Amino acid sequence: MAVNNERAVYRSPLSSRYASAEMSYNFSELKKFSLWRRLWTNLAKAEKCLGLDITDEQIAELESNISEIDFDRAAVEEKKCRHDVMAHVYTYAAVCPKAAGIIHLGATSAFVGDNADLIILRDGFDILLPKLARCVQRLSAFADEYKQLPCLGYTHFQPAQLTTVGKRACLWIQDLLMDLRNLKRAREDLKFRGVKGTTGTQASFLELFNGDHEKVEQLDEMVTEMSGFNKCFIICGQTYTRKVDVECLSVLAGLGCSVHKLATDLRLLASLKEIEEPFEKEQIGSSAMAYKRNPMRSERCCALARHLMTLIQDPLMTHSVQWMERTLDDSANRRLCLSEAFLSADVLLTTLQNISEGLVVYPKVIERRVKQELPFMATENIIMAMVKAGANRQTCHEEIRCLSQQAAKVVKEEGGENDLMIRIHKSDYFKPIVSQLEHIMDPSTFIGRAPEQVTRFLKEEVHPALAPYSGCLSDTAQLHL
């Protein structure tokens, strides 16, 4: 079969189906090879400034051809020489005949390859950070709105003491705040590889500048600054240490972990019919079961988060086998794991923002579930009230234990409602506190300081963390699928 259209060849679902245009472009060939040309131009500019025989005309020629790349020619060249950097040197030189002789002067392949990758990683974090901040902000508004709504807490996914809907959301937010801090730190810790030569010794540049160490250092600093970095590695082999990739993908894996936990909670809550993700008017939950409202966005988050979390294995193993100054078994692996990690994180945050902008809460369902379990939870409070009224604690404990077992039998064996409070009302033993039962059974008395904790958490931790992103929090997230 002839393969003559894009639908007949494999494309990564991350770029073709899920990820944003901006993140897809960030890892595109056009950006990558345009960056290579920009780096060659910056190197030539700095070398000229420091006294090498390079003309303004050559620089202008390089500048004018940075984005116009003949990819077909580059492919032909790479097929001949089996070297991607030299293929693009030849392709660039073909349109810059006057500057051909000074392209890549003194550099090794890692000069363009590694430095471009570091720029792309930095720009990737710059795309992710505002998206993560928006997720935190949307969930914070949700937490504030529902900070006083009592709901059943779960430990081991078994009914536990009450919490509030807003307080539970703060558990998610707290994880995401840690991710915001970690992504920001990873971004700020990025250093430029700089101008270091074949094994990181800068020997070729020292030769170009006739042994002038100061000029070599100036060259390194100038190209670093021209490329948007304020610091570069003092020490490197042929490449920047692949430990950097480990650090970058570690924080992205951590983000994946947080989103997976959050999305799993939402899937469970959707099953309980307490909270649901957005569901469009014409959305179909199942091709067979027309009534279904599947949490497909949260499920997508879990699916892609699992992929993101596994990607950390690649840089871990790659760094561990970079013999001496480097080996080339990192190259093909890094083409896959770096792009896929950032694209996956991008999809997760866009989807999570969309979810958090349209969460639907069902207070009546939440209230019903609370009422089903609250009588059992209130037994200790009832015992204490009876003791205050003069009863013996042990006797009271036995009375309420028997009534609780009878009520539990109705729930578990007969499928009925929890009638413990009815039984207590009818019991002569508990008559001294019947007038207090309504107050004892008020759910708001079982949530402790949850509302106050939410208020303090938002004020002291969330709002300060979001302040640097105040100018980019208004964008909404649109999902096409």
pLDDT single digits (tens) 172-203: 999 999 999 999 999 999 999 999 989 999 99
- DSSP 3-state of 99: coil
What are the Cα distances from residue 393, in Å, to 227, 425, 463? 75, 19, 47
> How long, in residues, is the chain?
481
Distance CA 163, CA 265 (A): 15
The domain of 30 spans 26-102
Mark which of 405, 423, 440 sits at the end of a domain. 440
Do 268 and 356 share a domain, yes or no?
A: yes
Do 329 and 426 share a domain, yes or no?
A: no
Do 144 and 249 share a domain, yes or no?
A: yes
* 6 inside domain: no
pLDDT for 290: 45
What are the Cα distances from residue 259, in Å, to 96, 115, 302, 306? 48, 31, 7, 10
Q: Quick count: other Cβ atoms within 10 Å of Cβ 438?
A: 9
pLDDT above 50 for 154: yes
What average pLDDT does range 158-175 have in this prediction?
94
Do 79 and 119 share a domain, yes or no?
A: no
Do 207 and 327 share a domain, yes or no?
A: yes
Nearest C-alpha neighbor of 294 from the set 322, 318, 266 = 266
What average pLDDT does range 308-318 have in this prediction?
95
Residues ≥6 apart with Cβ < 8 Å to 63: 41
pLDDT for 287: 46
pLDDT for 160: 83
What average pLDDT does range 346-362 have in this prediction?
95
Residue 188 dihedral angles phi and psi, to the nearest 5°: -70, -25
Do 241 and 149 share a domain, yes or no?
A: yes
- The residue that leads in pLDDT, 466 or 68, is 466
Do 149 and 250 share a domain, yes or no?
A: yes
Do 320 and 358 share a domain, yes or no?
A: yes
pLDDT above 60 for 288: no
- The residue that leads in pLDDT, 285 or 131, is 131
pLDDT for 212: 96
Based on its alpha-carbon atoms, the radius of gyration of the chain, rounded to whole angstroms, reads 31
**Domain tally for the chain?**
3
pTM: 0.89
Do 93 and 217 share a domain, yes or no?
A: no
Catalytic residues, by residue number, are 156, 286
What average pLDDT does range 274-287 have in this prediction?
67
Range with lowest mean pLDDT among 113-117, 206-210, 274-278, 328-332: 328-332
Token pair listed for 82: 């089996």
* 370 inside domain: no
Kindly state the helix (H) or strand (E) to which residue 166 belongs, with its residue range.
helix 165-189
Beta bridge partners of 155: 158
pLDDT, tens digit, 9 for 90 and up, residues 76-101 = 999 999 888 999 999 999 999 999 99
Distance CA 139, CA 256 (A): 17
What mean pLDDT is reported for the chain? 91
Distance CA 61, CA 185 (A): 38
Kindly state the helix (H) or strand (E) to which residue 360 belongs, with its residue range.
strand 360-361
DSSP state for residue 105 in the 8-state scheme: T
pLDDT, tens digit, 9 for 90 and up, residues 99-139 = 999 999 999 999 999 999 999 999 999 999 999 999 999 99
Kindly indicate the confidence band of residue 481, based on its pLDDT and cuts at 50, 70 and 90. low
Nearest C-alpha neighbor of 407 from the set 394, 420, 424, 396 = 420
